């Protein structure tokens, strides 16, 4: 990316330790503190082979005024006893983890050369919520495997042909606004409990709508109907909360999100429509089929319909 500044960064610190008396359940996404150091702290915990793993993570911009990983680790050890209801001297730490994940809106990467294709972290095919490229690669493994096989079989190895294997996905692009709503600028001022209130409200509404709405979102898959139902319900019953979020995320971000939102709806309709034409396209030369299936995959995965 030639030194391009990341659009967002996720800082993560954590440990695996033995000594936790309660180690049968886990947390995917927990928060129990207000805004701290101009960011919202989130926690994750789950049983591990060597004890229990706990993470503290936060979403930030790449402003040079932000604190260091060492500072975040200090807060991790300060807050861990409250989070897990245990004293540090009761734990035997086995290993530590720390790092940061940069994320770019201009993703996934399009290689500028023929016969070169990037997968996993190197492709930048990642969610601004979960960040890691490995999970995205696993989710797209069947699509990538079939696509690469067809590209090799039909000799579709030009830069343009291979770029279709890393298409624009509105199902990922819409999540940029979610990430933005869970972060705050260095000089920005909001209610210290605003992010927690937003998350509590949205997750409560999704839970009431049922597992078909909540479960895909927890697996980092956004679908048009589920998103529309959740946002509509939140806007109707909690309009004041919505109005607070708009100045936090900014009007430009909201307009940009609206474009991705409608594209998500468009892709949702295009996939089943194009799928009905599959028998017709299967009669075409293999090189033409390659392009049909790349667009079909783009509409399928770009609308979250690979979850179905």
Per-residue pLDDT of 230-283, as tens digits, reads 999 999 999 999 899 999 999 999 999 999 999 999 999 999 999 999 999 999
- Does residue 135 have a pLDDT over 80? no
Considering the domain architecture, whether residues 92 and 124 belong to the same structural domain is answered as no
pLDDT mean over 12-29: 94
Helix (H, G, I), strand (E, B) or coil at 158: coil
Distance CA 295, CA 292 (A): 5
- Are 16 and 191 within 8 A, CB to CB? no
Considering the domain architecture, whether residues 96 and 136 belong to the same structural domain is answered as no
Distance CA 303, CA 300 (A): 6
Is residue 274 a part of any domain in this protein? yes
Considering the domain architecture, whether residues 75 and 38 belong to the same structural domain is answered as yes
Distance CA 24, CA 22 (A): 6
Residues 6+ apart with CB under 8 A from 256: 176
Q: pLDDT at position 307, please?
A: 86
Distance CA 166, CA 210 (A): 32
Considering the domain architecture, whether residues 252 and 161 belong to the same structural domain is answered as yes
Considering the domain architecture, whether residues 166 and 89 belong to the same structural domain is answered as no
Range of the domain at 245: 108-308
Considering the domain architecture, whether residues 50 and 115 belong to the same structural domain is answered as no
Considering the domain architecture, whether residues 156 and 289 belong to the same structural domain is answered as yes
Give me the chain's average pLDDT, please. 93
- Does residue 137 have a pLDDT over 80? no
Q: pLDDT at position 119, please?
A: 83
Q: What is the pLDDT of residues 184-210, one digit of tens each?
A: 999 999 999 999 999 999 999 999 999
Distance CA 83, CA 85 (A): 6
- Are 161 and 204 within 8 A, CB to CB? no
Is the entire prediction scored with pTM above 0.85? yes
Considering the domain architecture, whether residues 93 and 119 belong to the same structural domain is answered as no
Is residue 222 a part of any domain in this protein? yes
Considering the domain architecture, whether residues 118 and 64 belong to the same structural domain is answered as no
Q: Which two tokens stand for residue 236?
A: 């109707």
Distance CA 111, CA 113 (A): 6
Q: Radius of gyration (Cα) for the chain, nearest Å?
A: 21
Considering the domain architecture, whether residues 86 and 127 belong to the same structural domain is answered as no
Considering the domain architecture, whether residues 112 and 224 belong to the same structural domain is answered as yes
Number of domains the chain is built from = 2
Residue 131 — pLDDT band, cuts 50, 70, 90? low
């Amino acid at each position: 990316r030639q030194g391009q500044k990341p659009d967002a960064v996720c800082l993560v610190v954590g440990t695996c330790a033995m000594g936790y008396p309660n180690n049968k359940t886990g947390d995917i996404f927990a928060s129990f503190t207000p805004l701290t150091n101009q960011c919202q702290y989130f926690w994750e915990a789950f049983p591990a082979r060597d004890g229990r793993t706990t993470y503290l993570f936060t979403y930030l911009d790449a402003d040079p005024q932000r604190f260091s990983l060492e500072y975040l680790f200090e807060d991790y050890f300060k807050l861990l006893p409250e989070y897990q209801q245990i004293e540090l001297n009761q734990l035997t730490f086995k290993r530590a983890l720390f790092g940061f994940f940069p994320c770019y809106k201009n993703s996934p990467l399009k290689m500028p050369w023929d016969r070169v294709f990037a997968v996993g972290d190197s492709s930048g095919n990642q969610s601004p919520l979960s960040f890691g490229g490995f999970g995205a690669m696993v989710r797209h493994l069947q699509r990538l495997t079939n696509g690469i096989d067809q590209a090799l079989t039909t000799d579709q190895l030009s830069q343009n042909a291979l770029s279709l294997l890393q298409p624009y996905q509105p199902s990922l692009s819409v999540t940029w606004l979610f990430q933005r709503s869970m972060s705050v600028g260095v000089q920005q001022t909001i209610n210290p409990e605003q992010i927690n209130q937003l998350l509590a409200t949205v997750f409560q509404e999704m839970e009431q709508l049922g597992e078909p709405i909540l479960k895909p979102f927890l697996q980092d898959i956004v679908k048009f109907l589920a998103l529309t139902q959740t946002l509509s319900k939140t806007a109707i019953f909690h309009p004041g909360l919505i109005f607070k979020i708009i100045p936090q995320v900014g009007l430009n971000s909201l307009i940009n999100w609206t474009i991705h939102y409608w594209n998500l709806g468009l892709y949702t309709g295009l996939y089943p429509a194009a799928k009905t034409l599959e028998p017709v396209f299967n009669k075409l030369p293999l090189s033409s089929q390659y392009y049909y299936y790349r667009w079909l995959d783009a509409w399928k995965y770009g609308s979250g319909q690979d979850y179905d």
